[in-house]
Structure formats: C-alpha cells, structure tokens
Structure 1
C-alpha cells in the first residue's frame, strides 16, 4: 500500500500569511502551559519561577476553604448541573450565592453569568435599543466594547478618564430615551482607577445611568474588597455593578449586582444567561466560600496592598516607567512590541513569569510587561523578582 501523504485543508492561507507576518515581526506568541497549582511560584518547563502574571490577587485559587467547598459540592451534587438556569439548572446553591453577592455589594439583587466577558455582553445587549445611547471610556475592556457592538444603541466614546469630555458627550446626547455611562472601575492594562465620584455627579446632573465593571477591583478595593463603588462611598448611587468571580475571587464566572428589576429582566432577556448551562457545583460553592473569606480574612487584602507598595517602589527605584497605576496592576512600559516580548522571555529565563502584552490588547507603541503582585508573595520573592527585572532590563538596555 502506498504511503498516504498528509494533506491540509485549503482556504486559510490568508490567516497563515498574517501569522507568518507576526512571526517575522517577533509578535507571535505560543501559549505557556503551567505545570503546577497557581501560586506565588509556578512550574513552567520543569522549572519553578516567580509568578507575576496571574489575576490571583488574594491567593484564593488554592485557599483551603475554597478547596473544601468545591470537594463537598462534587460529592453532594456531582460534576455538572445538566441544564441552563431557566429550565432545570438553577440549584439552591446558585440562589444562595447570588443572595450573598447582593448583600456583599449592597444591592437589591445579583445574577451570576458564565464569565465576566459574557456578563458585560449580556447586560448591554439586553437593556439597550436604538432609542438609547452608550457613553464609554475609550480604554474600556474588550467585553464592554463587544457588548456595545451587540446593541443597536447609539454610541459615544469619551477620552480616557476625561470627565470634561464625558460631559461633552452627555450634552450631545440629550435627545435619547436613556443614556448609560460605562466604565471600568480599575483599568486592566494600566492599573489606574476611574474617577467615579465625578462620573456619578455628571450622571445625576444629566439623568444618565452608570455601569461599572469592577473585574479588577472586586476583592481589591473597598471594604472587604467590595469594589470601586464602595471604595468611593457611592453605594446606592451606581445603577449597575459588574464583576468577575475569576480574579481575586479565585474561581470562575461573572456577576451583575443591581436592582431587582434589572436582575429579573436579565433572567428573561440576557442571552448568555438564557443559553448557557449553569455553573457546576464545585465552581458555585467555591465562589460562595470565597465571599466568606473576603468577609472574614481582610488581612489578605492588607497584605496585597503592602506587597503592591513594595514592588512599585522597587520598580521606580530601578528606573522603570510604570505609568498611572494606582493598584496591584503595575505595567512596565517598553513601547516596542518585539522588544517587550524579548524582555518577557528574558525574565522567564531568569526565573520570573511576567507576560508581555502588545497590540491589539494595547495600542501600538505601548507594549508593556504587565505585572500583578498578590497577597501570596513574600517580600523575599518580590525582591528576587526585582533583581531579575534589573538584570533583564539592563541586558536589553531598557534601563
């Protein structure tokens, strides 16, 4: 029998050409498999390295209380739920988690989605029509941008954290039925905090709604990690709060916290909610346990901020540029995408896992190695990481 030659399906040559161009420019990246539990150190290619790229702010991915809750849930309820929430997939544990989240966020009700990304898509695509307008910060997360694209609403983009430009947009949109201002609470690439007090003042002045995506503020800012709304003392004045259960909370999913009216509406109209199987028992019960940890172990948040201060100061002392960051997200700005990825690779060689981020995640010419310290890191680990940043930075003439 003749040897059968491998064949490839035709039709994707244009995609391969783009990939080849990325490889030529030094911007093509392979996924990096981690071979251990997520923690302050992880194993990559058989080598233990300091982890500075995860969103595991408080170390909850491996917290004993979350592990135990997940194991108990599997033993009691099994591996999955077998249905979407609106048919047969709502278990008592889902309702209990949502009630706990609403109380935690100081809102009437909450609803859990499969991810933070689908939460933003589900909320925005459900509540807006061509009679309405969205007013969005230019650096909002991709999930907000995609959620806006799914609506037929008008759209205005205001300059990043520029409340004067926001007011201009509000003045220009007074003929719409409803206006909604949407902003990240903490911006995921720069680590700065939205000027929420002024945004809320303008919304009240111009009769607009406010929606805040607190993905990187949940578990980080506010009392017990309640987020930017609580951080600024604005409880009850922000209409919609969105957050994730996959960053500081340590598990998976997203949620929206708001009025009973909005939550009931989303149950009937939110397409990601309506057409996705509900969270499995282990995820649901681990998220529930995470809220308890936030309430009962606030020292984790204190440790997070202590580590953040130490690491930021260390980077500044070395001469790195870290931009406007005010949170544990600290970008080390490089500019050129290829150089940024070389820097990331060099750091990994020296024992630090800190991923380079370039276009299209950030604008061209603004590539950076984004670092996130956690409550799990020791000062010794952070100092070792700073030493490696200095070594790699000097080798590549970044500092």
Structure 2
C-alpha cells in the first residue's frame, strides 16, 4: 500500500461539507461586540469583578497550575473549601472536584457501575454521559426521552444486582427538566441508584439555584448522586460530584478520571468558589435567568418561530436542515447577536436549531436586539 494512511480524512471532510456539517473555530476577541446568547454563562459571572478577583487571588496564592494529580500534589486547601461549599449548597454530604464536568461524569458513572451492572440512560443525555456509559463496561439500556415507565421496565427486567439510572437534570438542547421525583421513586422500588447531571441546573433551577435534585426533594439522599460543572452558571471551569461520603470515598479510590488526571487549576477553583459565594449572597439570580429565558422564548413565539418552552436557561428555535441553521446563526451575528447553532451529531437529522441561552444580566435593550435578530431569521 502506498500514500498517506490518513487520506480518508479528506473524504470524510468533503462528505461533512456536502451535508452542511463542517465545523470551524471562531476565536472571539476579548472585547466581543456581539450580544452573547450562545454561551453557558447563565448568571453573567464569568467577567464579574468578584469572580475574576477570586481567580487572581488563587493564582497568587497557589500558582498557575495544581502541579499534579489530586492524590499527589494537586489537592489544595482551596479545593477542599470549594468541595465543602458546593456540597453544602446542593444539600449533599460531601463533594469531589474534577478538572471538568465531562470527567466528573466519566469518573462517577464508570466507578459506580462496571461489569455485572446495568446503566439506564435517557436517549437525550449529554455526550459525556453517553461516553461514560460506553466506557463503564456495564450493560447499557437507552430509554426514550423522559419515559419513566420505560426506565422502570428496564430495571424490573434486569438480571444484574446493581443498577444506576443516569439523567440530565436539564437537557442541554431543548432546556426541559427531567422528571426527577418520579425517577427517584422508580429507582427506590427497583433497588437502583440515581445519578443526576446538574450541568444546566446548578445556579439556575430551584430556590437560590440549588439545582433540580434539591428542588425535587432529593437533596442529601444516600441513593442519589449529583454531578455538576463549574463552567456554566459559575462562570469558571471544572466539575464536581456531590453525594454521600461513601460515594466520594469510593471515587477517590476507584475513579480513573480522578486518580490519573491533573487537579483543577487554582484559578478555576478560586473563580468557581467566588461565583458560588456571589450566588449564595444573591439567590435571586437564579430566578432572574429563568425569567429572561422565558422572555426570549416568548419573543420567538410571538414572531411565529417554533421554539421550546424553557424550564431553565435554554430555549431552542427549530430551523430544520443544518445549512439553514448555519445561515440563520450567521444572520443573527450580522445583526449583532451570537446564538448557538446545533446540528448533527449534537441533534438528530432534520431538527437543527438555534439555541438561545439567557443570562441573568440581560437588559431590556438586549432583548430588543434579540427580537430584531429573530425577526430577520423568520424573514
């Protein structure tokens, strides 16, 4: 055989281009002129001076990097402080900080299941959950979206002694809530544990942004595990598992994504801790972002655009084909608004969309600009 063995990449790239699925990086400047309706900075804290100061102070105290894995030199007093306050905020007994939300899901799901266990996963769960299920080496059953009956059947029909049901608290594309109370009831009847990914719930859902699990009355339950990211409502970077002390101790011993990864950088830990303290001092921010999300969806609905009903910070405007969604996003940018553009594989074929993410600090003028952009999308 001759030639470059990676030449097949050119063919795949051409196929993606023909389907409207090529992606490219778009570096933004530090002074981005566009109204941001695309990021996950739900509470508008990523540039908050108090949060920035938390990052700067952490760098000055601890340096630029954590210097090693959490079990060697990568655990600092700052990490422990962040874990304590995160756990307290959501009502959990203990917490464990990872370097990303993605790794928190990988670590928790794999360590809590494994060969001889069953994982039941919602069809619209985030990619980090999907990958964690695949890497767990457990048997995986994917159930239809929000279908509690299907979850109960999968659990009742199992032959495995151990089972874990995994679900997003708030689904990242449509912004709808998981039926957590019902799922917890099913899990308890069938002897399964429940893992809830609060990536889009922490800081947004429930009183003071304590999350959907807390709002569903599941805070502190020994059979419920919460995972979260620090990169959305808290405006920083990193992830966490918030659960019983037994779960956290097990993850320290067995979660490969924790044991073999470098610890979260001090700047990220300091920023996340500062953001959490802002949220706890200003609990109205969670209600504010939910209100703004409903207003954004209302603007789209009034213009005749098909839009999801947001229960958190996210609303999606259905466009259809990938190329049309790309053109719609580009038109919004031309009018001064950056929106998310979701295409396969992030969503199924035929339902590409614009994803609008609200922030607690959106002004009435921002909403008026968003309306003008959406009116242009409608045509």
**Aligned pair 1:66/2:51, yes or no?**
yes
- State whether residues 307 and 379 of structure 1, in contact with CA within 8 Å, keep that contact through their aligned partners in structure 2: no
The structure 2 residue matched to 1:189, chosen from 173, 182, 207, is 173
Instruction: String of CA shifts for 1:195-240, please: whole Å, max 9, x gaps.
Output: 1111111111111110000100010002221110112222233510
Aligned residues: 376
Q: Structure 1-normalised TM-score?
A: 0.91
**1:55 alignment partner in structure 2:** 40
Matched residues in 2 for 1:393 and 1:122: separation? 43
Moved over 3 A (4+): none
- State whether residues 137 and 183 of structure 1, in contact with CA within 8 Å, keep that contact through their aligned partners in structure 2: yes
Matched residues in 2 for 1:233 and 1:268: separation? 29
Q: Pairwise mapping of residues 213-292 of structure 1 onto structure 2 (< 5 A)?
A: 213-237=197-221, 239-292=224-277
**2:24 alignment partner in structure 1:** 30
**Aligned pair 1:358/2:343, yes or no?**
yes
**2:116 alignment partner in structure 1:** 131
**2:329 alignment partner in structure 1:** 344
Matched residues in 2 for 1:221 and 1:347: separation? 28
Query: How well do the aligned residues superpose, as a CA RMSD in angstroms?
Result: 1.4
Instruction: String of CA shifts for 1:39-93, please: whole Å, max 9, x gaps.
Output: xxxx2xxxx2211100000011011211111111122222112111101221111
Give the CA deviation at 1:324: 4.7
**1:96 alignment partner in structure 2:** 81
SS in structure 1 of the partner of residue 231 of structure 2 = coil
Matched residues in 1 for 2:73 and 2:218: separation? 37
Matched residues in 1 for 2:296 and 2:112: separation? 42
Give the CA deviation at 1:97: 0.9
Matched residues in 2 for 1:152 and 1:26: separation? 34
- State whether residues 314 and 357 of structure 2, in contact with CA within 8 Å, keep that contact through their aligned partners in structure 1: yes
- State whether residues 242 and 256 of structure 1, in contact with CA within 8 Å, keep that contact through their aligned partners in structure 2: yes
Check 1:392–1:324 CA distance in 2 against 1; reply closer, same or farther (3 A cut): closer
Give the CA deviation at 1:36: 1.9
**Aligned pair 1:176/2:160, yes or no?**
yes
The structure 2 residue matched to 1:16, chosen from 2, 10, 27, is 10
Gaps of 5+ in 1: 1-8, 38-42, 395-399
Bigger CA radius of gyration: 1
